[in-house]
Amino acid sequence: MKKLERIKGYYDKNYLEYHQHMIKTNHYSAQKRIINKIRNHLKSPILDVASGTGYIVGLLKKDEHKLLANDLSPKMVELTIKN
């Protein structure tokens, strides 16, 4: 349990840096390309485990899927809701 708390604490502290890293390294662009390739094969409900900043949820929201997102970090969850 201590390890999970450390991980949660890390992402709670560094969630904005994580978001900037995803932008800078083009990870969001890669996620978008992958979602676009598989989009026609996806069916509801969709569970995004470790949803991070919610980027993938945002992409799938446009398709009117039933989406469930979860993350260990409350700060990441807040960012998902905001985005």
Walk along the chain (83 residues) in steps of 10 and give the mean pLDDT of each run.
90 93 97 96 94 93 90 92 84
Give the span between the Cα atoms of 9 and 73, in whole angstroms. 7
Whole-number pLDDT of residue 1 = 72
Cis amide linkage into residue 45, ω under 30° from 0:
yes
CA distances from 61 to 2, 11, 45, 77 (A): 34, 24, 11, 16
pLDDT at 49: 93
pTM of the model: 0.84
Q: What is the pLDDT of residue 22?
A: 96
Q: State the burial class of residue 14 (Cβ atoms within 10 Å of its Cβ: 0-12, 13-18, 19+).
A: middle
